[in-house]
């Protein structure tokens, strides 16, 4: 009886400990969620992010949330079901199919390109591995002049081959990292030759189907889905400029995919579980070659942990995936704006939050009255061909010049800052005449670099 009583007491203590530990873990997760939401919201408030975020950690979804407009014209917001184009993250999937074919002995990493294209320049020295690691030296046809106007039209294999033959590799294979979308398009066509099926069908059969990725595909232009995002080239209080639709056949196996954060989390889980390919092959994919690039993955390290991932960028959309396989960590940011270059900064700050490292929230502007802001509106001239138009729109100051359009955020009266790319780009100050009227603008970069513009109207 005494022994039984002692066992019951011990079991109760274990139960209480487990309950306390579970509650503590829940509180920690809630704190991480709050901090990530605060971080992303800070960028949203500065008009520097619009999209959807999902963070998974040790098998649990920490945060899954949409921010900003999916469709500004109709006032529809992004949510966790919003469908985005993901650009070059497509390469992860193309690489996975190639590696599965290697596991099935239908393809070898050492296979030469001339096995599939006998007359391709330097095809006898370019391998499948060279294409996977961007070391084939192949020209990137998406960088050609007038690409945007061309890309709205359907493309095909022969057209791409004709372009590449006109610009043969300038360096020897395996010597230099030269990022090439065309190299991954070739991998897509090789998949079709090996499987005798369309590339898209192979991806669905090998990956989308087994992982139940029901909201992923390739023909974004033709997609009929109420959650489909509109892509914007520019988005501010002054303008919302929608992007032209890129034909999926142009980007093909290099960047034609669309997806959601939830589907891409399923992709992460499939890789973690070994459902997609063997751990041995996946670990091989994570070995960096030149340019810190493996087989379809960018490889890096942070806090002494290996990170794998990829970014994606195209007209109207940006994407950032960051994973730490050893901790089952997955960070996914999808955006429906081309002018949204802060995904890298946001993802790095999320990493810092999770690993309890220092991070900095973007500076938030002070509040000035509409009357105070309107005083700065006007056209300022620096020279006969250089000017900036400061416009007041719905409580915001927008600076518009021939080169760019940016929002001005107030630090205090007569001093503002602008943000571009990965942080603060510069300060903008205003001068006043003896009557207190605004009559000058100062573009300030560094300590002594200052340009002065006179208000002409």
- Contacts for 356 with CB less than 8 Å, ≥ 6 apart: none
Structure tokens at 211: 């992982």
Q: Indicate the Cα dihedral angle 354, 360, 362, 363, nearest 10°.
A: 150
103, 129, 384, 396 from 271: Cα distances, Å: 15, 20, 58, 45
Domain residues of the chain, as ranges?
Answer: 51-354, 370-455
The pLDDT assigned to 444 comes to 80
Q: Which fold has domain 51-354?
A: Beta-lactamase (3.40.710)
Determine contact, residues 139/180, Cβ cutoff 8 Å. yes
The pLDDT assigned to 206 comes to 98
Characterise 81 by phi-psi region: left (phi > 0), alpha (psi -120 to 50), beta (else).
alpha
The pLDDT assigned to 197 comes to 98
The pLDDT assigned to 237 comes to 61
Q: Would you mind telling me the total number of residues written for the chain in this entry?
A: 457
Whether this prediction's pTM lies above 0.95 is answered by no
Structure tokens at 325: 């396989």
Q: How far apart are CA 104 and CA 177, in angstroms?
A: 28
Q: How far apart are CA 406 and CA 189, in angstroms?
A: 41
Tell me the mean pLDDT per 10 residues along the chain, length 457. 58 56 60 95 90 96 96 93 97 98 97 94 94 92 60 73 79 87 96 98 98 96 92 72 76 95 98 95 95 96 97 93 98 90 92 95 87 92 84 88 83 85 71 91 73 85
CATH of 370-455, one of 3.40.140.80, 2.40.128.50, 3.40.50.720, 3.30.160.100: 2.40.128.50
């Amino acid at each position: 009886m005494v022994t039984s009583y002692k066992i019951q007491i011990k079991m109760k203590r274990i139960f209480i400990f487990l309950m306390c530990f579970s509650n503590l873990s829940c509180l920690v997760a809630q704190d991480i969620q709050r901090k990530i939401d605060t971080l992303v919201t800070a960028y949203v408030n500065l008009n520097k992010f619009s999209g959807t975020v999902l963070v998974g950690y040790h098998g649990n979804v920490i945060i899954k949330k949409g921010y900003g407009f999916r469709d500004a014209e109709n006032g529809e917001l992004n949510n966790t079901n919003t469908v985005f184009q993901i650009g070059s993250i497509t390469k992860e999937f193309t690489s996975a199919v190639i590696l599965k074919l290697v596991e099935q002995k239908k393809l070898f990493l050492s296979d030469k390109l001339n096995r599939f294209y006998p007359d391709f320049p330097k095809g006898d020295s370019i391998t499948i591995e060279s294409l996977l690691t961007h070391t084939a030296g192949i020209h990137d046809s998406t960088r050609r002049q007038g690409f945007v106007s061309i890309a709205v039209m359907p493309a095909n294999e022969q057209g791409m081959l004709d372009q590449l033959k006109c610009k043969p590799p300038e360096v020897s294979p395996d010597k230099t990292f030269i990022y090439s979308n065309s190299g991954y398009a070739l991998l897509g066509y090789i998949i079709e030759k090996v499987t005798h099926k369309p590339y898209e069908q192979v991806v669905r059969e090998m990956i989308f189907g087994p992982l139940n990725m029901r909201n992923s595909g390739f023909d974004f232009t033709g997609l009929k889905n109420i959650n489909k995002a509109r892509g914007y080239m520019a988005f501010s209080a002054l303008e919302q400029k929608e992007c032209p639709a890129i034909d999926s056949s142009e980007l093909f196996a290099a960047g034609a995919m669309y997806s959601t954060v939830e589907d891409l989390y399923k992709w992460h889980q499939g890789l973690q579980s070994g459902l997609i390919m063997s751990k041995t092959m996946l670990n091989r994919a994570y070995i960096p070659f030149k340019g810190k690039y493996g087989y379809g993955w960018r490889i890096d390290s942070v806090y002494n942990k290996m990170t794998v991932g990829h970014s994606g960028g195209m007209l109207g959309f940006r994407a950032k995936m960051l994973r730490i396989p050893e901790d089952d960590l997955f960070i996914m940011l999808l955006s429906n704006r081309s002018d949204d270059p802060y995904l890298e900064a946001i993802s790095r700050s999320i990493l810092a939050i999770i690993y309890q490292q220092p991070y900095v929230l973007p500076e938030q502007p002070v509040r000035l009255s509409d009357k105070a802001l309107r005083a700065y509106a006007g056209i300022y001239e620096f020279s006969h061909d250089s000017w900036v138009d400061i416009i007041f729109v719905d409580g915001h100051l927008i600076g518009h010049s021939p080169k760019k359009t940016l929002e001005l955020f107030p630090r205090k009266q007569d001093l503002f800052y602008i943000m571009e790319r990965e942080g603060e780009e510069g300060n903008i100050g205003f001068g006043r005449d003896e009557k207190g009227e605004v009559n000058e603008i100062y573009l300030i970069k560094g300590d002594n670099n200052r340009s002065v513009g006179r208000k002409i109207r």
